[in-house]
Amino acid sequence: MGAGYGALQHSRSAVLHAPALAQFRPAPPHALLVSASSGSVPHAPVSSKAMLWSMEIWLSTTGGGPRVHFKLQPQQAVIPEKKRSPPASLYNGSGKSIRPQSFTAGLKRSKSLTTADALASGMAALGLAADAGDLGTFPPEIQECIDKALEDPNAVCARTLMDAVGHLVGRAVESPRYALPAARRCIAVVEREQNETFLESLLNTCQQWYHDRDKLLGAVVGGGRPRLMAFLSFLLEMYCQLRRRAIQRRGASAQPGHVLLTLICKCCEDCVRQPSPSASDTENLFFVLTYIGRDLEAQLPAELERLLSAVRDAFLNTAAAPSIRRTLLQLIELHASRWQLPGCAVLYYYPSCK
């Protein structure tokens, strides 16, 4: 017995469990991360610092099988936060950015199509829209007056604000493409002023321009009146901007939206009461009523009825061109269908939609 212990012998249990040790051998990190089912999924490269592997293997000498313990500590992936883009800015004549004070970093603009966005898209289709910064050039003293009003309307005198209104409206009626940038500058001042001097002057100036429309806006070019159409485009853009921002007067006088809506309705009536309406004026009339027809019906029903009566009279005028009468008929059907044409009418007026 004593001589038998002189040499070491293989344990019977170790021999029995030797084939089973292969299946418990730890695989390399890469082999553990890649499986047959994830062959098409891209994996990030594995670094020795990214995960720490700790393996402890105990072989029981009392007949128990091997036990393997894995401790995985994956590195937390950090997703960078997307930067919030700043709001669109207006730029004055010297190139200085002017942002409205009402911007809040925590608010995001809705991706839905707003009235002003749809208005800009429709005006672009008719050649009436322009970029917010495209207002042309002014003489240095006029540009300085507008810049002061845009930078801080509460720090300048009332005369400077009134002069700025005159310059902006005067540029807006030069061409329909100036309607959008001029209206946005006016709204930027209205939102920041405290005593409503600019807003009162703007409404009074618009009313005065319409009162003197024969002298200021009555020039006829190619059968139409482009300055009147430019003035109408400016009023429409101003009205949509005021409605979207819900700007109201603090006094007991008429609200700015109601004043502008009345002027728009009067300009539309002037478009169809011409001896021979032009095609461009008729198209603009249809476009305007598409956007504010419901507002006119709710706030100015008597004025809308008078306007539609003028439209029917113009449609019955046999001297009008077929394309003009077609547009007027479409406008009559638009009102009859409560400002939303049915599918059959759309296919009739726009056969390319089939």
β pairing state of 97-98 and 90-91: antiparallel
Q: What pLDDT score does 74 carry?
A: 52
Compute CA distances 163 → 28, 168, 217, 268, whole Å. 79, 9, 20, 28
Please report, for the chain, the start and end positions of each structural domain, with discontinuous segments joined by +. 113-349
| Maximum average pLDDT range among 60-69, 134-143, 345-354 | 134-143
Q: Are 268 and 311 in contact (CB under 8 A)?
A: no
Question: Count of CB atoms within 10 A of residue 28's CB?
Answer: 9
- The predicted model scores a pTM of 0.64
Higher pLDDT, 311 or 85: 311
Name the pLDDT band for 354 (thresholds 50, 70, 90): low
In tens, the pLDDT along 171-226 reads: 999 999 999 999 999 999 999 999 899 999 999 999 999 999 989 887 777 777 88
Q: Look at residues 278, 296, 171, 163 and name the one whose alpha carbon lies nearest to residue 230.
A: 171
Residue 171 token pair: 């540029």
In tens, the pLDDT along 170-181 reads: 999 999 999 999
Q: What pLDDT score does 103 carry?
A: 34
Higher pLDDT, 340 or 101: 340
- Fold exhibited by the domain 113-349: 1.25.40
Q: What pLDDT score does 72 carry?
A: 52
